[in-house]
Amino acid sequence: MFVFTTEGSTFVVDPLGEGDFKTISQAILIADDGDTILVKPGEYEGILLDRTLRIIGLTAKGAVIINGHDGNALRINAPGCVAENLSLIGAGKSEVLFVESSGNLIGHCDLKGSIGISVKGVNNTFEECHLDSEVGMELASSRCNIINSTFRGNKGISIKNGSLNEVNGCSFHTGTGIEIISSTENTLSSNSLTGQFFGITLSQSSGNWIENNNISGQYLSGIDLLVSDGNNLSKNYINNCKLGISLRESDNNSLSDNLCKNNERAGIYSNNSRSNMFLENELIGNGNGILLTNSVINLLNSNKVHSNNYGISLRGSIQNFLRNNSMNKNHFNLRIDSGEISSAPLALSSFDFYIQDIDRSNLADGKPICYLINKSDLNVTNDYGFVGLIGCSNVSIQNQNISNSTAGILIVNSIGCAIRASNISHSEEGIAIMRSSNWIVNGSLADGCKIGFMATDSKNGQFFNDTALGSEEVGFKLLDSLNLSLTSSDTYMSGKGISLVNCRLCSLINCTANQNKDDGIALINSHKCLIAENKMQQNSRGLALFGSNACQILNNSLKENKLDGIVLEQLSSAELRGNSALNNSQGVFVQSSQKAKIEGNNLNQNIRYGLRMSFSSLCEIKENNFIRNEISGVNLVDCKDNLLYHNIFVENGYQNALDNGINQWNAGPKLGGNYWSDHEVSGNPGNSIKEIRTQGIDKYPFQDPGGWK
């Protein structure tokens, strides 16, 4: 098995007395450098090898047992020794095998104990050994070789302050496979690793080669680099881990020709790392194919990224270079965004995270990517797989057909740009516009996206004649924006139809929001907006305003919504005029609001109430029709100081009106009160008091509907 040129004597150890000695220690005491000790099966006490000897177990592997009852099973402090075909058992916390010297060969040995092997000497070789230990090997040395060995336990090999060591062809069934700390120029090749913590981990280590390894299981990371620079990772196969390869605060590493498959979060992950090269890797079926967070000036070249949830993700990262990458059949091919808040120290503005160097050699589903930075006066008309405009002006995008992207078309920090006649499907955001002004989106379709159309921190833009169909979250989302308009734009069968959050002076005119699971149109903390001539049908709620003051709601049609036609909650000074709410659960619901003006609306045939108000005050309700609502035309609960007059109440089911608060049901003897189908009176207005359950009074009801005109 091992060939030596040194000649010497040979001794046989047999515990039954049929050899030269009964114990190995007796043989060592007599032997000289270069001698060979052949050991017959049996169990022996731990030994110290303090001269250059060969100790070889005879017959079947594992039949020669050396038990370190008082510590090490075998301690070697002489150079050039050979130990072969032995079964070594350690005691307590002591190392099973402790190697202090150099040039030794350990082969075909089984080791079991707390720490399998501790190595201090250089140029030692360990071949075809089997280690079942809490820690298989602690290596604080250089130029050692670990070949074709098997490790079981919590940790396989720990290399600390070591260099030029090689681990080749080994099998690891350990929590952590190989740990390299403060070490350089080690080579790990053709190993097989499976476990649950880390496959191979490097910390503060550089110049190491990790190649042709097969890593699988539930590892947190197959290969993990922490504060480790200038390492080479090549031709590794990493499968079914949380992360395939991860770089954390690690720079100038090269990752080439690796295959990362079915890793939960990412095939390749880089965080707070720079100037790394990702070359010709293949990423299949991962959460992210390649995910960069907080990372700068990395090169991604000729990677094949397919069938992942996200293909390539650049999150909170700056000035990365993408060349010749191919993204195919990913759920979302390319993602670029500002990432988490932890990215903030990298940039003066969150929009700096969109500054990436991505040329048209990159492909998304076979189409080139168009990513323009600081360009002006261009027309984008070719068929692209992704379009991004960053810091551009007066650029027109037309006739695009894009699918499977985070944002099919992305416009950031740009002025005067236009998107026309483009179709985006199955993307996170069909069209996303950020911090841009004076833009228009016209005649475009978002089909089956999470968010159909999105505008954030933008102003003076307009959506015109656009359609969002089947958006998982929301058809149109406007956030933190000013003076935006949606005109003749429609949303169907989405989570929410149209959503405005923290916006001002926006308008929604002649839009349709039908069959959405949540609200047809919703405004949250959005003030002085105009919602006019829209149609909202078969949503959960038709129109909902929360904390949105001084909005005008004019001439809208709200039909067959499961809950409310219109909701006003925690706001002030709304104007509802000329709206029709028909066959909803409630026509209008007003909660904790004041100074709403509800005038000239048709709130009819709703399943519960035409108008229901609670904890609201100082509202004016006039010239509305409340006809054939199944419970009541108007129900006021714990309201006060509201004024109701010139309304028509006809054949509302349980009661035309209910009021348990202190509200005024007429505007005095001259202007009069309301018309009640269940109260006959003579005169317009008359003076026969109409009592409203439970305590309201209309002193001047009308004889005829509209008798005040």
Among residues 678, 690, 673, 688, the alpha carbon closest in space to that of 652 is found at 678
Contact 283, 267 (CB under 8 A): yes
pLDDT, one tens digit per residue, over 233-277 is 999 999 999 999 999 999 999 999 999 999 999 999 999 999 999
Tokens of 16: 């039954």
pLDDT bin (cut points 50, 70, 90) of residue 342 is low
pLDDT digits (tens, 9 = 90+) for 354-374: 999 999 999 999 999 999 999
pLDDT band at 69 (very low <50, low <70, confident <90, very high): confident
Amino acid letter for position 17: G
pLDDT tops 80 at residue 59? no
- Using DSSP's 3-state secondary structure scheme, residue 168 falls into strand
Q: Which of 646, 662, 667 is nearest to 696 (CA)?
A: 662
Is residue 597 assigned to a domain? no
Question: Measured in whole angstroms, how far is the alpha carbon of residue 234 from the centre of its chain?
Answer: 27
Give the helix ranges, DSSP H, for 178-333: none
**In this prediction, what percent of the chain has a pLDDT beyond 90?**
93
What does the mean pLDDT of the chain come to?
Answer: 95
DSSP state of 668: H
Whether residue 685 is preceded by a cis peptide bond, meaning omega within 30 degrees of 0, is yes
Residue 3 in this model has a pLDDT that exceeds 60 = no
Strands, E assignment, 182-228: 187-189, 192-195, 198-203, 209-211, 214-217, 221-226
Which structural domain range is residue 42 located in? 1-147
In a domain, 100, yes or no: yes
Q: How does DSSP assign 93-142, residue by residue?
A: TSEEEEE-SSS-EEES-EEEEEEEEEE-SSS-EEES-EEEEEEEEEE-SB
Q: Percentage of residues in the chain with pLDDT exceeding 70?
A: 98
Q: Which amino acid is at 476?
A: F
> Which two tokens mark 26?
């007796």
Asked, for residue 19, whether it belongs to a domain, the answer is yes
205 falls within a domain: no
Evaluate whether residue 415 is within a structural domain.
Answer: no
b or e along 227-238 (b: 16 or more beta carbons within 10 Å of the residue's beta carbon)?
A: ebbbbebbbbbb
Q: Are 480 and 468 in contact (CB under 8 A)?
A: no
pLDDT tens-digit readout, 408-433 = 999 999 999 999 999 999 999 999 99
Distances (CA, A) of 670 to 397, 491, 677, 699: 62, 47, 21, 11
pLDDT band at 217 (very low <50, low <70, confident <90, very high): confident
List, as one string, the DSSP characters of 481-496: -BS-EEES-EEESSSE
Domain count, the chain: 1
Per-residue model confidence (pLDDT) at position 198: 96
Per-residue 3-state assignment (H helix, E strand, C coil) for 533-580: CCEEECCCEEEEEECCCCCEEECCEEECCCCEEEEEECCECCEEECCE
* Domain contains 468: no
In a domain, 185, yes or no: no
Q: Is the pTM for the entire model greater than 0.85?
A: yes
Quick check: helix, strand or coil at residue 582? strand
Phi-psi region of 578 (alpha: psi -120 to 50; beta: other; left: phi over 0): left
For 436-475, what is each residue's pLDDT tens digit? 999 999 999 999 999 999 999 999 999 999 999 999 999 9
How many angstroms separate the CA atoms of 363 and 217, rounded? 31
The model's pLDDT over 146-201, given as tens digits with 9 standing for 90+, comes to 999 999 999 999 999 999 999 999 999 999 999 999 999 999 999 999 999 999 99
25, containing H or E segment:
helix 24-30
How much is the pLDDT for 163?
Answer: 97
Hey, what are 30's tokens? 């007599």
Strands 690-694 and 696-698: antiparallel
**Does a structural domain hold residue 681?**
no
Residues composing the chain: 709
Q: What is the model's pLDDT at position 1?
A: 33
Q: Residue 105 is part of a domain; what is its CATH number?
A: 2.160.20.10
Mean pLDDT of 303-328: 97
**pLDDT tens-place string over residues 637-676:** 999 999 999 999 999 998 899 999 999 999 999 999 999 9
In 3D, which of 638, 658, 650, 654 has the Cα closest to residue 674?
Answer: 650
Determine the residue type at 327: M
Q: What is the pLDDT of residues 587-609, one digit of tens each?
A: 999 999 999 999 999 999 999 99
